[in-house]
Amino acid sequence: MHGRQKRGSKQSKQDRVSCPVCGATNASHLIRIFNKLLPLCDSCIHMSEEDVDYLAAVAEIRRCRTWDGFIPRKKRKTLDKLLHHRNSAVVELATEISAEDQFRCRLSKASRERDPEFPHMEIEFQNWWEGRHERLSRQSAEVLEEFV
The answer to whether residue 72 is domain-embedded is: yes
The answer to whether residue 42 is domain-embedded is: no
The answer to whether residue 48 is domain-embedded is: no
The pLDDT value recorded for residue 148 is: 59
The answer to whether residue 58 is domain-embedded is: no
The answer to whether residue 6 is domain-embedded is: no
Checking if the pLDDT of 78 tops 60, the result is yes
The answer to whether residue 19 is domain-embedded is: no
The answer to whether residue 53 is domain-embedded is: no
**In terms of C-beta density within 10 A (0-12 exposed, 13-18 middle, 19 or more buried), how is residue 110 classed?**
middle
| pTM for the model | 0.75
pLDDT tens across 14-46, in order? 566 888 888 888 878 888 888 888 888 888 888
pLDDT tens across 54-72, in order? 988 999 998 898 888 889 9
In this prediction, residue 6 has a pLDDT band, given cuts at 50, 70 and 90, of low
* Distance between CA atoms of residues 11 and 15, nearest Å: 6
The answer to whether residue 91 is domain-embedded is: yes
Domains held by the chain: number: 1
Q: Print the domain residue range for 122.
A: 66-147
Checking if the pLDDT of 122 tops 90, the result is no
* Distance between CA atoms of residues 40 and 37, nearest Å: 9
